[in-house]
């Protein structure tokens, strides 16, 4: 997760702290305040499904393949997001927490109600409506976090950060609210060695090193 945050620095070397990062992937959805390199404050995280996980599960129930994110994004480009309105879980006016399990269930209930033939006929609209429900929450909460922490920079990180609709809508919203938005290129959104090296650079610069006997801890929190 720390590496994903600094993937932005590889793409934008002039990027400077403090800033907000929306870490959004198949396993994580959280907002992180970065006051300085190697310093982090988690402002909010998902209470259930991550955004990428919701994309994958909806992709599975729509029978369009895996991973669901890129496929749903392509379908959504040909659909009308306003035709089907799915719920947005904001969890309170000032909450920075996320929840996507209810949205996933809403799509399931809708598909079961209209049946397989109508689902196939309106697949693009379903994909567009679902995607927009996810993006609205991600964008609204990122902008809210930036205002709360009084920063003017917001970054995207993680696999879902590759979603071009998210990039475009976040950028447009940020411009209207005086917040600059950054994201890595596609190659740096997925796991890669470069972002890990960049994160490690800050520790090395502070004289902090780990012995070669260090064991990995996959469940370690940011």
Give per-residue pLDDT as tens, 124-139. Answer: 999 999 999 999 999 9
pLDDT top residue among 29 and 28 = 29
Give the DSSP H or E segment for 116: helix 101-121
219: pLDDT strictly greater than 80: no
The pLDDT assigned to 169 comes to: 98
Give per-residue pLDDT as tens, 147-169. Answer: 999 999 999 998 899 999 999 99
CA dihedral 219, 137, 148, 49 (to 10 degrees): -20
Instruction: Grade residue 203 by pLDDT with cuts at 50, 70 and 90.
Output: confident
CA distance 194 to 65: 29
Residues 6+ apart with CB under 8 A from 214: none
**Percent residues over pLDDT 90 in the chain:** 69
The pLDDT assigned to 199 comes to: 87
pTM, full prediction = 0.92
- 74: its two tokens: 């392509």
Sign (positive/negative) of CA torsion 108, 113, 117, 122? negative
Grouping H, G, I as helix, E, B as strand and the rest as coil, residue 144 is: helix
Give per-residue pLDDT as tens, 82-118. Answer: 999 999 999 988 999 999 999 999 999 999 999 999 9
Give the DSSP H or E segment for 187: helix 186-189
Instruction: Grade residue 45 by pLDDT with cuts at 50, 70 and 90.
Output: very high
The pLDDT assigned to 27 comes to: 83
Give per-residue pLDDT as tens, 164-191. Answer: 999 999 999 999 999 999 998 888 888 8
Give per-residue pLDDT as tens, 50-83. Answer: 999 999 999 999 999 998 999 999 999 999 999 9
């Amino acid at each position: 997760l720390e590496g994903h945050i600094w993937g932005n620095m590889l793409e934008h070397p002039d990027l400077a702290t403090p800033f907000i990062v929306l870490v959004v992937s198949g396993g994580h959805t959280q907002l992180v305040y970065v006051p300085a390199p190697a310093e982090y404050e988690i402002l909010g995280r998902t209470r259930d499904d991550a955004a990428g996980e919701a994309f994958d599960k909806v992709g599975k129930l729509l029978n369009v393949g895996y991973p669901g994110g890129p496929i749903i994004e392509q379908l959504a480009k040909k659909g009308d997001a306003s035709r089907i309105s799915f719920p947005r879980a904001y969890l309170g006016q000032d909450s920075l927490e996320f929840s996507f399990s209810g949205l996933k269930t809403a799509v399931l209930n809708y598909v079961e109600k209209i049946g397989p033939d109508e689902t196939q006929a309106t697949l693009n609209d379903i994909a567009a409506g679902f995607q927009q429900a996810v993006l609205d929450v991600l964008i609204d909460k990122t902008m809210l976090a930036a205002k709360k922490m009084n920063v003017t920079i917001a970054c995207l990180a993680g696999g879902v950060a590759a979603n071009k609709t998210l990039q475009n809508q976040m950028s447009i919203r940020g411009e209207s609210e005086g917040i600059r938005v950054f994201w890595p290129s596609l190659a740096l959104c997925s796991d890669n060695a470069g972002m890990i090296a960049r994160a490690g650079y800050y520790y090395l610069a502070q004289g902090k090193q780990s012995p070669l006997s260090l064991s990995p801890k996959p469940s370690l929190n940011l």
